[in-house]
Structure 1
Amino acid sequence: MTLRLDALSVGYRRHTVLTGLSAVAGRGELTILLGPNGVGKSTMIRALAGLQPPLSGGMSLDGADLTRLSTTERARRIAVVLTERVSPGLLTGRELVSFGRHPHTGFTGALGQRDRDVVAWALDVVDATHLADRDLSEVSDGERQRLLTARALAQEPDLLLLDEPSAFLDAPSRVALMGLLRRLATERDLAIVVSTHEVELALRLADTAWLIDAHGTLHTGTPQQLVSDGTVSAVFDTEQLRFDPVSGTFEPRERLPA
């Protein structure tokens, strides 16, 4: 299964944010979407998720035109985790994850045994079984992010999209989440596209990188390719910091005196 973008343009009715986007994200791979703040990464994710229509061009999943999928078919094939904080109300972890089964349960929304089994599997695979009976108001941001990822997995999608999933997480939780996404892509044979500001971490873990520069041009390749050809440095270097391709980290251009 492959997500393919062909000369895709995204934005709003009177404002094009990104244009000429052509890229591929494969099954079993973690694809990272990088770029400066405000460049249009979230708009791109929302278009891929069907939350806003593309302006022109094509986007397909395993050859199927995403714009022609019914709402139900899209919900079965594509799951998305957005960056907005969730107001959980009085839900438990299991109840939140169970929402992921709604595309499969029909009009009544009643969960059958297989649905309950999938929910249990999704909780287990993100190491959140111990949160199943906890009220969401009592869990940490990192734990809630795992539950939201489990909800998306409970949809049994072909494609998982995440927009800044580590936005509210501490450093250990960010590392754990990216490692989890890499493992899920491989073990579950999923195509995963994650927009992130965790440049160093993402470049170490991803199979493929989509990098949008300040001019809106999309560069694609393996992280190693985009590092070695200078693309990462061209996009992210500042007057104070530079990306060192050897260490894979950002370093000060010069040390300030003590």
Structure 2
Amino acid sequence: MSLRLHDLTVGHRRGPAVLTGVTLDARPGELTALLGPNGAGKSTLLRTVAGLLPAVSGTVALDGADLLALSPAARARRVAVVLTERVDPGLLTAWELVALGRHPHTGARGTLRPADHAAVDAALVAVRASGFADRRVGRLSDGERQRVLVARALAQAPDLLLLDEPTAFLDAPSRVSVTGLLRRLARERGIVVVVSTHDVELALRVADRVWLLDRDGGVRSGPPAALVDGGAVGAAFDSDELRFDAGSSTFVMR
């Protein structure tokens, strides 16, 4: 069920290409981190893979199937997306928000069957959110809310889970918790998980594989240790004020 990007060029309509000729892969059971400095094209690449932006050229395949050629409904049964924008849940409870993830499977009437209820309950258990399933989402902490959004994505029963900055609004303990959760879900469910993040140091410690973008449109891929030891991480992020220290895998002041 591997994800394969081949000779992919991405960008916004009527604008220049952001990334060209991208060829990458991500494997089931692994957490793949998409890293790069601001403006390198992380969100554009992730949204293109998700089908939210049209590709300029190239292919995105999951287990050999062209994801970009699928209808939105068919894609929703295979791909789940968690974006960085805050969600306005209205008066929904956590359970009700997670249940929205079942809509690709419920047909035109949207009626939840016993199997759908079971899928929602299982998703809440998987992210350890069952204890607040009946609470209104507006009353949850940021960390709890993020777990619920991941649960909603899991309720879709996807083969591919894409997340854009899922820890952006969280404190340090919650960032560690959510990132560890994503790695555990990849392993337990055997799905492909790709997460875009600015939390470089944490991602390098937790991820199995890294897609690394640099300021010049270059793309590298590999295990975190290989990219650190080879100097690719430093080359992508070093600035006049900060440098990436490969020995400690942390950023230090110059």
Match of 2:106 in 1: 105
Coordinate RMSD, CA, aligned: 0.8
Deviates more, 1:176-185 or 1:235-244: 235-244
1:149 aligns with 2:150: yes
Aligned-partner Cα distance in 2 for 1:110–1:70:
22
Aligned-partner Cα distance in 1 for 2:131–2:45:
34
AA of the residue aligned to 2:108: F
AA of the residue aligned to 1:11: G
Deviates more, 1:242-251 or 1:54-63: 242-251
Q: Percent identity?
A: 62
Aligned-partner Cα distance in 1 for 2:41–2:236:
14
Deviates more, 1:11-20 or 1:199-208: 11-20
What displacement does 1:69 show?
1.2
Match of 1:68 in 2: 69
Aligned-partner Cα distance in 2 for 1:90–1:160:
26
SS at match of 1:247: coil
Match of 2:9 in 1: 9
What displacement does 1:107 show?
1.0
AA of the residue aligned to 1:4: R
Match of 1:118 in 2: 119
SS at match of 2:202: helix
1:227 aligns with 2:228: yes
What displacement does 1:173 show?
0.4
For each residue in 1:90-147, what CA deviation from the matched residue of structure 2 results, as whole angstroms up to 9, or x when unmatched?
Answer: 1000000000000001111011111000100000110101121001111111111100
TM-score (norm 1): 0.96
Instruction: Give the number of aligned pairs.
Output: 253
Q: Which runs of 4+ in 1 moved over 2 A?
A: none
What displacement does 1:76 show?
0.6
For each residue in 1:187-233, what CA deviation from the matched residue of structure 2 results, as whole angstroms up to 9, or x when unmatched?
Answer: 11010000000100000111110000001111111101100110001
1:208 aligns with 2:236: no
What displacement does 1:20 show?
1.0
AA of the residue aligned to 2:86: R
Consecutive unaligned residues of structure 1, counting only runs of 5 or more, are 254-258
